[in-house]
Each structure stands twice: as structure tokens, then as C-alpha cells.
């Protein structure tokens, strides 16, 4: 592999990746991939947005409840990879996706529990991406000026742009990123070690960038939740 940050040669295409192997234990509703969203399983919606947003193809990584997810969701348009080691964390799913995708493609990594990933978000990242770099969606979140968690729209709060997903990894960096992946961290270690290689793109007009980890966050799917 060339030097980290070296420019890629020629035009590259992107493979979208949906990391959908988790069991959703904290949420307690089964695999998040099967959460209903706009009349379809969530994994189906996310994969469709990646493909329709401009990715050449999409790899969907399943794990927990893989047979049930494959049976319930229409995933015929995508490449399916089943991670037998999904219990070890997201890292193993990331590595499986990297091995499954065409080696000359960039990788656009999305999480199955982030319903705010739209076709427009995907297209924006692909259009902004620069050769030899990583392009990350970022979202403006309200926080207290003292660093604490805000309790409402009060004075002393500010909006800060925070990096999230999707994450577009240049083809020239895939080997270097994969070498740092372990446990449940995904590409986090590489991003922290090489912030100079990361370009953040504001996607706040598309969503908040939140994941669905709690029952309260089911509102992101349009569900009515108890106060």
C-alpha cells in the first residue's frame, strides 16, 4: 500500500456497507435490522438509500437473527455477508465487509440503527470526497457551554458539529484502517490517530445523526413513545 494520504489513481467507485449484525440487546426488541420504518424493515430502507444515493453496490452484514432478517427484508439487490463472530463487536463486521467489497472501491460505512441516513446524505458525501482521504457526515448537536448535557433551549447552550456516520473511506486507506479495527470500535482508532485525513461534511439538514439505542429514540422511526 502507498503512503497514508497519498492520492488515489483514477476514478473510484464506492461500495456501500450496512452494518446490521447486532442483536439490539439494550433496546430489547430483537435485531434492529427488523425495526419497522415507513412500512419496511429498517435494514431494507438504509440499504436502499445507500444504493439509490450513488453507491455502486451495497454489502449488508448480518449476524444475530440472520435467517429471520433475510426472510423478512427484501435484500435481493444487495450482497449479503453473514458474520458468525458478530458477538465480538462491530469490528468483525467491518472487517468482513472490507473483505467482501470489491478491493478497488471506496467504502461508505453506514449503521443500520441510524434512520436519518438519506439518499441526499449519501450523495453529498460521495460528491465531497477527495482522493486519499476519509469523508465523514457530521451533525450539529446542542450542548451546554460548560460541556454538560443540555436540558432545554436555554441561554448558555451552543451547537457543535460532531462527526458521525456514514463514513466514506478512500480505497487507498482501506488496508490501513482495517489494520486498526478491533472489538466494537470500528474505524475509531484510525480516525483518532489521523484527524488530518478526515473531512467532515455538515448533514444536519438531513437528520440529527442519532442512533437508536433507547426506547425514547424510537421516535426517530416515527413511533409514539411514552413520556
Q: Which pLDDT belongs to residue 224? A: 65
Q: What is the DSSP letter of 9?
A: P
Instruction: Provide mean pLDDT across the span 171-198.
Output: 93
Domain ranges of the chain: 14-146+156-215
Q: Which pLDDT belongs to residue 11? A: 55
- CATH superfamily entry for domain 14-146+156-215: Spore Coat Polysaccharide Biosynthesis Protein SpsA; Chain A (3.90.550.10)
Sign of CA dihedral 86, 91, 94, 99: negative
Which of 32-46, 188-202, 206-220 is predicted with the least confidence, judged by mean pLDDT? 206-220
- The whole model's pTM is what? 0.86
Helix (H) or strand (E) holding 172: none
Q: Which pLDDT belongs to residue 225? A: 53
Among residues of the chain, what percentage have pLDDT more than 70?
85
Residue from 66, 76, 78 nearest 20 by CA: 66
pLDDT tens readout for residues 87-127:
999 999 999 999 999 999 999 999 999 999 999 999 999 99
pLDDT band at 59 (very low <50, low <70, confident <90, very high): very high
Q: Which pLDDT belongs to residue 142? A: 62
Half-sphere exposure of 99 (CA within 13 A, CB side): 11
Beta-carbon contacts of residue 33 (< 8 Å; ≥ 6 apart): 20, 41, 42, 43, 62, 65, 69, 73, 112
Amino acid at each position: 500500500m502507498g503512503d497514508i494520504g497519498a492520492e488515489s489513481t483514477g476514478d473510484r467507485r464506492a461500495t456501500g456497507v450496512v452494518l446490521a449484525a447486532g442483536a439490539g440487546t439494550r433496546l430489547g426488541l430483537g435485531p434492529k435490522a427488523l425495526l419497522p420504518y415507513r412500512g419496511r424493515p429498517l435494514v431494507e430502507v438504509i440499504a436502499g438509500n445507500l444504493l439509490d444515493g450513488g453507491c455502486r453496490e451495497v454489502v449488508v452484514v448480518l449476524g444475530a437473527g440472520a435467517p429471520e432478517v433475510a426472510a423478512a427484508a427484501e435484500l435481493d439487490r444487495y450482497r449479503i455477508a453473514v458474520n458468525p463472530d458478530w458477538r465480538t463487536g462491530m469490528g468483525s463486521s467491518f472487517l468482513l465487509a472490507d473483505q467482501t467489497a470489491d478491493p478497488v472501491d471506496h467504502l461508505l460505512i453506514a449503521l443500520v440503527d441510524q434512520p436519518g441516513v438519506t439518499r441526499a446524505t449519501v450523495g453529498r458525501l460521495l460528491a465531497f470526497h477527495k482522493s486519499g482521504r476519509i469523508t465523514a457526515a457530521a451533525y450539529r448537536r446542542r450542548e451546554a457551554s460548560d460541556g454538560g448535557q443540555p436540558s432545554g433551549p436555554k441561554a448558555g447552550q451552543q451547537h457543535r458539529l460532531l462527526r458521525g456516520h456514514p463514513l466514506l473511506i478512500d480505497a487507498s486507506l482501506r488496508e490501513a484502517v482495517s489494520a486498526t479495527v478491533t472489538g466494537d470500535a470500528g474505524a475509531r482508532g484510525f480516525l483518532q490517530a489521523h484527524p488530518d485525513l478526515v473531512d467532515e461534511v455538515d448533514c444536519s439538514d438531513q437528520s440529527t445523526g442519532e442512533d437508536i439505542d433507547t426506547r425514547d429514540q424510537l421516535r426517530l422511526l416515527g413511533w409514539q413513545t411514552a413520556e
